[in-house]
Structure 1
Amino acid sequence: MDNNESKTSVFVTVGTTSFDSLVKTVDTDQVKEALLKKGYTHLIIQMGRGSYFPKKSNGEYGSLAVDYFTFSSSIADYLKSASLVISHAGSGSIFETLKLAKPLIVVVNEDLMDNHQSELAEELAERKHLFCGHPQSLYQVIESLDLDSIVPYEPGDATPVAKLINRHLGFPAD
């Protein structure tokens, strides 16, 4: 991607699973128009094992340029060049995006049983590190998106906890 594109691109990732409801939602005219209104011009969708294929578009006539792929050996370049990331609630995708200080909308997959991932996403949203929604509410999340309200995520230091565990287990202190 060139520099111009990176300023206005949205990257959607579903990880290695199937999350067709998210892919279908970002492929709706309603969501695409909301992204255009926010100034985004390109939408790149990593659709994983899903069976729904979004409509590709080259962005003519004032529409959003849309492209998709199933898997990549690394999504790091897509994350780095995106100006907004829309992701499933997997902790790896969440923390990789937060580490890059990219605005993030996490969409919870309600079809997963025992969805502990929603707890992480909701807690981080409550702390204002990201925005959280569900496929049916993504449009509203995008419409009310206020990137200035994001609080940068600062990872914690696990060293004191590791030292305490090591001491408890009888390992020598470093």
Structure 2
Amino acid sequence: MGETDDGGKPKRIVFVTVGTTCFDALVRVVDNQEVKEELSRKGYTHLLIQMGRGSYIPTKSGGGQDGSLAVDYFTFSSSIADHLRSASLVVSHAGSGSIFETLQLGKPLIVVVNEDLMDNHQSELAEELAERKHLLCARPQTLYQTITDMNLESLLPYPPADATPVTKLINSFLGFPPD
């Protein structure tokens, strides 16, 4: 993890992902100067935005000696796993795949709920995991305050799943003897 930016500071990346959706409200809010300045104050050096099908184009920046964030973006990637692994903080839409992939990697996560979606199962999942202290949950309009107030040390690791009960049930159903 000894990678540094040009200023010699450790490289700390905030990776933002909207998955395959269009979530311009999230892309727009992380592109907001106030949010970028707060991330920089928190010690982050780079902001990488996966913008999906969105039409809002964030402002690219190379970062600067003034401590401003380097900002880059892309639409899609065959796998976001490498981006998640290199991130110091992940800001994600509320898709269950993105949430659980990030939690399994043990990365701090802020889930931003897309209130424009019709059903609410994504917000229910995000809110339940936030209540259990595995992640932070925000809306586009509350993201800045969530970043300002965040205490990543208060987050609890997400426990790895134990497939043993399911395996036993399947083995029993198939007629295999119990272990």
Structure 1-normalised TM-score?
Answer: 0.92
Looking at structure 1, the residues matched to 80 and 170 of structure 2 have their Cα atoms a distance apart, in angstroms, of 34
Shift of 1:166: 6.3
Pairing 1:40–2:33 present: no
Structure showing the higher helix proportion among its residues: 1
> Please, what is the CA RMSD of the aligned residues?
1.8
Pairing 1:30–2:34 present: yes
- Sort the Cα spacing of 1:59 and 1:78 in 2 relative to 1 into closer, same or farther, 3 A: same
Question: Residues 94 and 112 of structure 2 are in contact (CA less than 8 Å); yes or no, is this contact kept in structure 1?
Answer: yes
Q: Alpha-carbon deviations, 1:20-66, whole Å to 9, x = none?
A: 00000000011111101101110000000000000001102321110
Question: Could you tell me the percent identity over the aligned residues?
Answer: 72
Looking at structure 2, the residues matched to 18 and 66 of structure 1 have their Cα atoms a distance apart, in angstroms, of 19
Q: Alpha-carbon deviations, 1:100-159, whole Å to 9, x = none?
A: 100000000001101201111111111111110100000011001101101011123233
Q: Which runs of 5+ in 1 are unaligned?
A: none
Pairing 1:4–2:4 present: yes
Looking at structure 1, the residues matched to 116 and 168 of structure 2 have their Cα atoms a distance apart, in angstroms, of 39
Looking at structure 1, the residues matched to 81 and 54 of structure 2 have their Cα atoms a distance apart, in angstroms, of 21
Pairing 1:77–2:66 present: no
> What corresponds to 1:143 in structure 2?
148
Q: Which runs of 5+ in 2 are unaligned?
A: none
Structure 2-normalised TM-score?
Answer: 0.90
Q: Alpha-carbon deviations, 1:65-86, whole Å to 9, x = none?
A: 1000000111111111110000
Shift of 1:8: 1.1
Q: Quick one: which of 118, 126, 150 aligns to 1:121?
A: 126
Looking at structure 1, the residues matched to 85 and 176 of structure 2 have their Cα atoms a distance apart, in angstroms, of 38
